[in-house]
Amino acid sequence: MMYPHPIIAKEGWPYLALVGVVTLFVHYLGGIAWSWPLWIIFFFVLQFFRDPQRIAALGRDLVLSPADGRIVVVEKTNDPYAGREALKISVFMNVFNVHSNRSSVHGLVKEIQYFPGKFVNADLDKASTENERNAVVIDANGQIVTLVQVAGLIARRILCYIHVGDRLKAGERYGFIRFGSRVDVYLPLTAEPLVSVGDKVFATNTALARLPGLD
């Protein structure tokens, strides 16, 4: 399924409407002297829910970043959702990053697994297994790619708009996490990482790895 890409994500419209009405009301009654803190909050919410269009990195064998943020993990580990050893690359999103989640590859959605959990800092390794999370297992031309949305310390809502049997395009918007979080990407061990811990990445624009056979 394709999801529209307004400049401001639809997930933020209720928040912007609420904060905007309160801000304008206070500004009307008391002027800028009383309303300036609310204007700061309004523009913070506005930047948080921005949702720009993205152009995919060139290369048919590239695994695209599913989120904006900073790389916090690049390691070989177990993929508990697909039951295999895998290369794991994790992207941590702070409150100033764009929070739309986009598919890393073209492929067929094979499984979607949701797990309730805690809300510890998403920057910590244990967040991958202890926090609330939603895993999407994708068959990308015979290669299994697992994308896991992980809620964070402030995040309290994982949104996923796809279903088992859907076909995704690389860079297609499939979900959103509100207010800080991370996305874990599990790849076959044949994948060659193109990023390192500490690198800043952008959803769809940045390639996380090269995976032979993604044609």
The CATH number assigned to the domain holding 149 equals: 2.70.70
Determine, yes or no, domain membership for 3.
no
Q: Angle 114-118-119 (CA atoms, 0-180°, nearest 5)?
A: 105
Tell whether the model's pLDDT for residue 51 goes beyond 90: no
Counting the structural domains of the chain, the total is 2
Would you state the pLDDT for residue 2?
45
Answer yes or no: are the C-beta atoms of 85 and 76 closer than 8 Å.
Answer: yes
The pLDDT tens digits for 112-158 are 999 886 665 555 566 566 778 899 999 998 999 999 999 866 555 78
- Closest to 122 (Cα-Cα) out of 149, 84, 86: 149
pLDDT of 156: 58
Average pLDDT over residues 98-114: 93
What is the model's pTM?
0.84
Task: Retrieve residue 48's tokens.
Answer: 């948080």
**Residue 194 and residue 121 in one domain:** yes
Q: Are residues 71 and 118 located together in one domain of the fold?
A: yes
> Residue 15 CB: number of other CB atoms within 10 A?
17
Containing structural domain, residue 94? 62-210
**CA neighbor of 203 nearest in space, from 94, 10, 55:** 55
Tell me if residue 181 is catalytic: yes
Q: Are residues 32 and 122 both part of a single domain?
A: no
Tally the C-alpha atoms within 13 A of residue 168's C-alpha that lie toward its C-beta.
32
Give the whole-angstrom CA distance, residue 92 versus residue 139.
24
CA-wise closest residue to 213 among 56, 78, 62: 62
| pLDDT tens sequence across 14-32 | 888 998 899 998 898 888 8
Q: Please tell me which residue, 162 or 177, carries the higher pLDDT value.
A: 162
Catalytic residue of the set 90, 100, 103, 181: 181
Q: Which amino acid is at 7?
A: I
Give residue 127's pLDDT.
59
User: 162 vs 54, which has greater pLDDT?
Assistant: 162
